[in-house]
Structure 1
Amino acid sequence: MDSDDDYTSGGSSYGGGFPGAFPSAGPKATKRKTSQGPAKKPEPIRRPLPVSLEDLYTGTTKKLKITRTYLSGESSENIIAIQVKAGWKAGTKITYPNEGDEVSRGVFQDIEFVIEEKPHDSFKREGDDLKVVVEVDLVDTLSGPVKKSVQTLDGRRIEVDVGNLKSSGETRTVKGEGMPISKIPGKKGDLVVSVNVKFPSALSDAQKRDLRRVLSPSSL
């Protein structure tokens, strides 16, 4: 019986109202509605779920032990497995209904896990795109085609053409090598490679003269 239900007996214990009539089945229980509406759902228990960028790229399973407490003071433990889908973003919520603590008799909180993206040493995520910075020496930039090898989040290596730069900080875009798009299976964002040119820390007088000679407008 729900704690909000209020039962009262009603009707006569004898049927028909005539002497000698057969007795009825007994008191009838009638449910009297209370003025109180349905119980409000309690606030969920919110917990952060830190996930590496690699795991958000490939997808993974996180197993967590949760402890539930009851009004009696007792507690129980349970292991839950959270399927993190490839492409999920920070702020994604995973809800386990009624797996939290008991807040009133028979009423339990939901548990809500919120994805947090761990910082990465090389890559930065922007939406479905990935950004990475590579460095090239000035001499390589000036002397011909340049390719840089970039290791992806799933361990592959791709060659990126970073030659023919006009200035340091230019970008090269590799289509389809960004983050998976969870709502569109098989589709990915882009990889945006920013190229920083490394300038020599010092030059000798002879090297400076050679540069002036090579790079002077008359020699170009």
Structure 2
Amino acid sequence: MPEGVTSAWMQLRGTATVQCQEGSFRLGRGEWILLDHRSQPCVQSDRLGICMGLHFGTDALTALGEGANSLYAGRGRMCRDDMQIALRLRRRLDLVPDGRVTLRNDLRPLLLLMADLQRDIATLSLRCPGRSLTQRAGFMARLQVSRLHLEGHPQLDHRVDDLASVAGVPARYFSRVSRPCTGCRRYRSPGGCGWIMRYGCCGRGR
């Protein structure tokens, strides 16, 4: 997938492997992942697997409408009811006349479902610094990209400086605000050469 396209992937059956800028991820049944416009993912499902993908541009939030939650890079799980809703909405796209799918009228229900799956992340975004909800959401989006980078390379110990660089914020500031905003924890590295980060689970979306 080319750079500049945001994508969401929902695993409805079997498993799939996602390779992207943030690392490598394995999706099991009922799991989803949303990747930002720089990720350039390559997704490979197993022989019997079904992985449903959506891709959209920067006008997606406009299509969601006023009052809807932002969409963030991240991972999470769906319950069975959510999986059935996603599949039903996807099948509805096959019935669009002439196959001309529009973001506002046709993809909007699926995007709203994804926003609902991320409501735990949206709640945590309220803890982020910023004078407005838009500023807080923007900061959370940066933290979520760094979190995916950490989770996509589980074999590595990630220095705070490196994750702050991914998020595009100063390391000291990142270290201070990332724990209350995302639930991450900071540890002294075994070699004593700095601080490393670990994340715990954050529910449906993380």
TM-score normalised over the length of structure 1 = 0.22
User: Relative contact order (C-alpha < 8 Å, sep 6+): which is higher?
Assistant: 2
Instruction: Compare CA radii of gyration and give the structure with the larger one.
Output: 1
